[in-house]
Structure 1
Amino acid sequence: MEISENAFLIAPCGINCSVCMAYLREKNKCPGCRGPDDKKSISRIKCKIKRCGTFQDSESHFCFECDSFPCARLKRLDKRYRDKYYTSLVGNLKTIQESGIELFLQNEKSKWICSKCGGTICMHEGYCYSCKEPYEK
């Protein structure tokens, strides 16, 4: 699967970096998992999923392209994101695999837009970064 410019902010594990608090913050803004490492925290640079051999040794762009999908590491991360942030990374990846990245991106855009001001809802903080309106799940 070729990754488009629009999909640049979707991490290999299925996280939408455009709604991540590290990407949305103004100070020390993260460029996203696929962006350059020079502005990322050490935990993002050393991400074991991003550094998985599947991505190092092939043309793969998403975890669903791996024979081990979903691996134990991704399942643990998925559980954490389902429990804390009401987002399934495995579900995101299955949607991309089955429906394509463009439809996934359209759905994500409508899912994470603030109904009050049109700003971006942060998946980790649970509110709009523009007006601080809480996210209605």
Structure 2
Amino acid sequence: MDRKSIAPCGVICDLCLGFQRDKNRCVGCNAEGEKVNHCNVCTIKYCPEKEGISERLCIACSKFPCKRIRDLEKRYATKYGESPIGNMQRVESVGMEQFLEEQEGLWRCNACGNLVCVHREVCLHCGAPRTYFIRSPITTL
């Protein structure tokens, strides 16, 4: 993982099915290259509040958390065990480098050591069940 691994909304692109699959692989929100369609037209990444800086984390916005981010948080926390808001708050608290190091450890498959996919219940590499890392957001929505 690196800085480009964190989407403006706080989702970790490296954990996405589109990023991990072999065919039609997405390069992630902040990288140049092929992306899945919903990333190309993302209303969060291209939000006018970002003033043309699409990589800026949404937590820097005066309207944070907006409805789009709250909806994304609800979906990701409920379905996938990832907290985009919690991710951004952690980055703000400890810095990007430490955050990335923490996430590298949390999202590793216990069986094979590869990064797990947040969208699947089993590791895409070895088929081992994925441990859910449900974290409550630090702030209330």
What is the TM-score normalised by the length of structure 2?
0.86
Higher helix share: 1
What's the Cα RMSD here?
A: 1.7
In structure 2, which of residues 18, 29, 32 is the aligned counterpart of residue 22 of structure 1? 18
Query: Aligned-pair distance for 1:112?
Result: 0.9
Q: Deviation string for 1:84-127 (max 9, x for gaps)?
A: 00111111111111111111111110111111111121011122
- Segments of 5+ residues of structure 1 without an aligned counterpart are none
In structure 2, which of residues 48, 52, 55 is the aligned counterpart of residue 53 of structure 1? 48
- Whether contact under 8 Å (2:117, 2:124) holds in the other structure is yes
Q: Which runs of 4+ in 1 moved over 4 A?
A: none
Which amino acid is 1:128 matched to?
A: C
Separation in 2 of the partners of 1:122 and 1:93?
19
In structure 2, which of residues 82, 85, 88 is the aligned counterpart of residue 90 of structure 1? 85
Q: In the alignment, does 2:73 pair up with 1:78?
A: yes
Q: Please list, as runs of the form range in 1=range in 2, the aligned pairs for 1:1-137 lying within 5 A after superposition.
A: 6-36=2-32, 39-58=34-53, 61-137=56-132
Separation in 2 of the partners of 1:98 and 1:81?
21
- Whether contact under 8 Å (1:54, 1:60) holds in the other structure is no
Partner secondary structure for residue 39 of structure 1: coil
Separation in 1 of the partners of 2:50 and 2:25?
24
Q: Which moved more, 1:100-109 or 1:56-65?
A: 56-65
- Segments of 5+ residues of structure 2 without an aligned counterpart are 133-141
- Whether contact under 8 Å (1:12, 1:62) holds in the other structure is yes
Aligned residues: 132
- Whether contact under 8 Å (2:46, 2:52) holds in the other structure is no
